[in-house]
Amino acid sequence: MKALVTGGAGFIGGSLAGALVEGGAEVRVLDNFFTGRRDNVPSRAELFDGDVADPDVLSGAVSGVDVIFHQAAHRAVPRSLEAPLATNRANTHGTLAVLAAAQHAGVRRLVCASSSSVYGQVDEFPTPESVTLHPSSPYAVSKLGAEHYCRVFAELHGMHTVSLRYFNVYGPRQPPDVPYAQVVPLFIEAMTDGRVATVHGDGEQRRDFTYIDDVIAANIAAAEADGDTVAGRAYNVGGGNDISVLELLALVAKIVGVEPRAEHAAARPGDVRRTWAHIGAAARDLGWRPSVDLEEGLRRTIEWHAGGAGTEGGGEAP
């Protein structure tokens, strides 16, 4: 396999690029290093330093590849509230640019990173892909727009596009020291440093957390699945857990061996109350199910942070 990973210097993209290299694939990475880090790019990957919206960079990056794993994005709901135009350019226009370049180069398979945020506030749990979507932030709208472009290119041009709706990805190499850092590394850092963790809102909001290795496996499964079955479709990629933010903090503290301590801050605009993935479609069409439960995934992540690597890694985690 000859693969291009856009956003391959980020947390998810870099982890995926490394797994592909280890699996024997010939890998290219395209990243503008807005949030990604150069030490996330595998040494055996060919690096294209540039933006996914730049057609000149894209034309060289996509030439001759078999599959594109499109991970590049401006992540985070709060950032999208502050910079909606930049979020739209990176996530929606950037996806369209990658699709157009792929079509021109004859690349038929593209796996696109989407997000559970496209659902917004729903009342069916676990949530299947078939529910009515009501995105509630510019970030969520930008991800849904990217999904629609993937579907249209499948219908009009016969491309085998697959969108994966990630649910709260976490794991080793996810940094706590970047703007809009995710809750898992922030909680781990606070508990291991003996500090009080910040909880936005009442902490009773519930989330489905997905370990990075399971996300990588879902991407590879989507790249290898029957094209006619998956083309133009979107699939949930979740860990299968339903846990509150306060329960997550208590679990992290238990593994670290300390008492959980929290201070509450204002709820964040655009945050939804609950996410929980129904993964039946991915199991049926991709042959994928998560294999790492939350406690085991947290243990692995805490061990990695304890090894002194907690400040490495990129920042792309929907």
Question: Does residue 107 sit within a domain?
Answer: yes
Q: What is the average per-residue pLDDT within 119-140?
A: 97
Same domain, 7 and 143: yes
Kindly state whether residues 124 and 183 are assigned to the same domain.
no
**Span 40-49, pLDDT tens digits:** 999 999 999 9
Is 139 tagged catalytic?
A: yes
| Residue 44, domain member (yes or no) | yes
Write out the DSSP string of 92-138.
Answer: IIHHHHHHHHHHHHT--EEEEEEEGGGGBS---SSBPTTSPPB--SH
- Give residue-wise pLDDT tens across range 145-193: 999 999 999 999 999 999 999 999 999 999 998 877 899 999 999 999 9
**Domains of the chain: total:** 2
Q: Are residues 72 and 193 both part of a single domain?
A: no
- Predicted confidence at residue 317, as pLDDT, reads 39
Q: Which domain holds residue 196?
A: 170-208+240-273+292-309
Q: At what angle do helices 183-192 and 294-304 cross, to 10 degrees?
A: 60
Whether residue 318 is contained in a domain is answered as no
Q: Do residue 69 and residue 113 come from a single domain? A: yes
Per annotation, catalytic residue among 139, 149, 166, 235: 139
- pLDDT at position 315, please? 35
User: Looking at the predicted structure, is the pLDDT value of residue 95 above 70?
Assistant: yes
Residue 65 covered by a domain: yes
Is 188 found in the same domain as 87?
Answer: no
For residue 281, being part of any structural domain is answered with no
- Note whether 155 and 266 are same-domain residues: no
Supply the CATH number for residue 43's domain: 3.40.50.720
- Do residues 118 and 143 touch, judged by C-beta distance below 8 A? yes
For residue 187, being part of any structural domain is answered with yes
CATH number at residue 258: 3.90.25.10
Model pTM above 0.85 = yes
Identify whether residues 43 and 139 lie together within a single domain. yes
| Predicted confidence (pLDDT) per residue in 233-282, tens digit | 999 999 999 999 999 999 999 999 999 999 999 999 989 999 999 999 99
88/122 same-domain check: yes
What is the Cα–Cα distance from 30 to 314, expressed in whole angstroms? 14
Is the domain of 64 the same as that of 126? yes
